Structure 1
Amino acid sequence: MKIVNIIPIFSTDPDARVGHKSEDHSFLGYKTHLALSDERIITAAIITSGEKSDGNYLPDLIGKTKNNGVEIEAVIGDTAYSRKENIIYANKEKFKLVSKLHPLITNGTRKDDKFIYNKDAGRYMCPAGHLSKNDGHIKKRDKNRNTRIKFYWDIEKCKKCPIREGCYTEGAKTKSYSLTIKSKEHSEHESFQHSEEFKELARSRYKIEAKNSELKNRHGYNKAHAAGLLGMQIQGATSIFAVNIKRIIKLINDKK
């Protein structure tokens, strides 16, 4: 639900900021966060500097869309929109959020590290076979972040462990192992994510990608034509108006 507008890296634009398309692909410029109806008409848009997080703007996009008279049954977006507060918001507003959870949430951050939970002892066991000193210290986080549970080991055993390399850091005063406890909201959303309904709805995501491409390739929206956020907002308003008018005319002609 975003379009990235690239500005030359030596731009003197005071409002342009560095954002990231991926881990190794950054840009200097702006983002346009879009909401698109099933008929491919843009129902809401928010233009920000490039560093802003996509997921923050879901409630605003939904609010603008509703104010424009559109009823919302489902929202389709990329992983950025599946943050916990958005899942809670979707449940409250009674629409289906078709956005995949981040792999770190579904798969966890621990994988093949040979730390094993011993259900009989109720504690974690390290690769050397030593049990944790505690049965898990739960750390409550704020309402938008999952709770973490932490296990601690006897540091004296770690110092003498024959396989301590890569596990124990020399000079460390503690050795711990943390896990994230999946929230109720994330667990329920993960179940929905694996449903046929989710997969069927997700097939419509190509529409937003096609609209992004139309704006950038046919209307010059891949480049800011004026400096400043206001200039980008004016460019966005005129470009979105143009593509919406084209789409509305096509829909009218198709009905004739």
Structure 2
Amino acid sequence: MLKEKDNQLSIYSILYDKIPENHTLKLLRDEVDFSFINKMLEKTYCKEYGRPAKEPELMVKILVLQKLYDLSDEKVIENCSLNLAYMYFLGINPEDDLPHPSLLTKFRKSRLEGNLTIDEIIIEIINQCIEKGILQKVSGITIDSTHTEANTKKYRPERVMKQLAKKIFKTVKEENGEIPSEINQEIPDYKEIENHDEARKTMKSYLEETVSKVEELVELEKAPETKALVNNAKEILADPKFIEQRGVRSIVDQEARIGYKSKNDPFFGYKTEFMMTTEDRIITAVHTGNGAYVDGTKFDELLELTKKTRIKIPEVYGDKAYFKKPILDKISELKAKAYIPVSEAAYRIDEERFSYNKDSDEWFCSQGNKTIKKKHYIRKCGKETYNYYFDREQCRNCPMREVCITGKTVGKVLGIGINTPEFYEYSQQQKSEGFKEKYKKRACQEGKNGEMKNFHGLDRAKWYGLKSMGLQAKLTALAVNLKRIAAILSSKRRIISKHLSFLLISMVKSTIYRKFI
């Protein structure tokens, strides 16, 4: 159960006066109210029974410190017992007891596992700072994703199947007392098979036979761990991506996947997508997917979370991966301006040869010929296209005919995607100097990604699985947000201090001048 928070200061609290006024943690403690966390999580605790629990506010603050300074569970508790600034931020007295490091793991899993709680904390803190005038109420937003390496190695499918077989044998022995003699425990040596495809087929056949025998000879209802392992093995083998090396690559972390930082630069792990303000560089929403996650898939969800911060959004920035019709339409619904470069995958018009007039809905070629009609087609795959037809007579006598037209076709037919006319307008807007100058704002996203990976541990997963990775990413976002808020507060205090110093000097000079007169 939750106990009443003790606000009584001890005689040792005077030591907090030694903390500099502009220290990050002192600024945060003085300006940001974290008490809402207790109310947010009070329903997850029993009100009347059990030992008094550590306050959720305290636990979340410890997790923030852990991410802020990239510490382990043991190290953050050790530092909290020694560092005055840490104690002041936590709101405890120097002699107070701190939770055991193992309690941090329990708190993360039992109270924060859903991850939505961290989203709510991020939103509430941003709202507080907007109301106090610390953060700007109107700001553009930028979106990007960054990769995180899994906390395990990736293995070939044949190695994964060997590990699964070994784990099944070990679990059967522990739960059943012995392994039935009918089960073949001689795992094939796939390394001796030169052909990798053949090695995978051999290992797959062996594992399928092993699973079948275990189901036949072991009472799985009395062996729950064996049953779970068998079902897990069947699920992995049933995935066609597994043998193609695009599925499970580690039995320790089965949700990590292969992704690509660039065309020839793969990684094994997860991708985290952030939405962030361009003015104050505050993260408003976070989503984590496996390494194969496609950028922009959760754009709507991230935007809805950002809206809850009550920030007005006049502009949206992104890279080419976000140049998609649904995303552009969503931005248009916001009545915001999209600063997203055209993607060659979505828009393939050679603008040196063709131009478009949206008012007349006509395409023009570089030789002055124009389209005279268009037809709408729906292919068998469901994809919609337009065919624009140029005037035959002009094409017949055109000097570029041999370059432009192949085969027996008389007039040029321009086949385009259904969204190409609209994308043409975006393409023209992006050639302006104004667009290029504005787009420079997106660079703040790259800096934030680097900060989280280089200084706050987001370069590598701390735990296993998608939920744990999502929690790590959101706690990191919360920590860097608080760090940024402290920096803004410190900057504003310096400006105020300079103004006061200037006024004081002016008053002194004025007094001296009047005295001499």
Which structure 1 segments of 5+ residues have no match?
A: 124-134, 152-166, 169-176
Does the CA contact (< 8 Å) of 1:109 and 1:179 recur in 2?
no
Give 1:137 shift: 6.9
**Residue 195 of structure 1 pairs with residue 432 of structure 2:** yes
- What are the equivalent positions in structure 2 for 1:1-256 lying under 5 Å apart? 1-7=144-150, 8-10=153-155, 11-12=250-251, 13-37=253-277, 38-108=279-349, 138-140=376-378, 147-149=385-387, 179-181=415-417, 183-256=420-493
Give per-residue Cα distances to partners, 1:3-53, cap 9 Å, x unaligned: 101223234311112222221122221111101112111111111112121
Does the CA contact (< 8 Å) of 2:374 and 2:386 recur in 1?
no
Change (3 A) 1:255 1:111: closer
Give per-residue Cα distances to partners, 1:139-195, cap 9 Å, x unaligned: 3369x96625499xxxxxxxxxxxxxxx99xxxxxxxx9832453321221122122
Query: If each structure's strand is expressed as a fraction of its own residues, which one has the higher value?
Result: 1
TM-score normalized with structure 1 length: 0.73
Does the CA contact (< 8 Å) of 2:377 and 2:384 recur in 1?
no
Change (3 A) 1:74 1:141: farther
Give 1:136 shift: 8.3
Match of 1:127 in 2: none
Change (3 A) 1:141 1:81: farther
Q: Which amino acid aligns with 2:342?
A: L
The number of aligned residues is: 218
Change (3 A) 1:222 1:98: same
Distance 1:21 1:146 in 2: 31
Does the CA contact (< 8 Å) of 1:87 and 1:189 recur in 2?
no
Q: Which amino acid aligns with 1:94?
A: K
Identity %: 29
Whichever of the two has the greater Rg, that structure is 2
Aligned-partner SS, 2:304: helix
Aligned-partner SS, 1:56: coil
Which structure 2 segments of 5+ residues have no match?
A: 1-143, 156-249, 354-364, 390-405, 408-412, 494-517
Give per-residue Cα distances to partners, 1:201-226, cap 9 Å, x unaligned: 21111100000000000011011111
Query: If each structure's helix is expressed as a fraction of its own residues, which one has the higher value?
Result: 2
Change (3 A) 1:209 1:118: closer
Q: Which amino acid aligns with 2:447?
A: A
Change (3 A) 1:141 1:223: farther
Does the CA contact (< 8 Å) of 1:30 and 1:49 recur in 2?
yes
**C-alpha RMSD over aligned residues:** 3.3
Give 1:79 shift: 0.4
Q: Which amino acid aligns with 2:485?
A: I
Q: Which amino acid aligns with 1:232?
A: M
Distance 2:377 2:295 in 1: 28
Runs of 4+ in 1 over 4 A off after TM superposition: 104-107, 109-112, 116-120, 135-138
Change (3 A) 1:228 1:97: same
TM-score normalized with structure 2 length: 0.38
Match of 2:66 in 1: none
Give per-residue Cα distances to partners, 1:87-127, cap 9 Å, x unaligned: 12211221111110113445438999xxx99998x89xxxx
Match of 1:162 in 2: none
Distance 1:77 1:102 in 2: 11
Aligned-partner SS, 1:33: strand
Distance 2:350 2:258 in 1: 27
Aligned-partner SS, 2:281: coil
Give 1:59 shift: 2.0
Aligned-partner SS, 1:221: coil
Aligned-partner SS, 2:311: coil
Aligned-partner SS, 1:230: helix
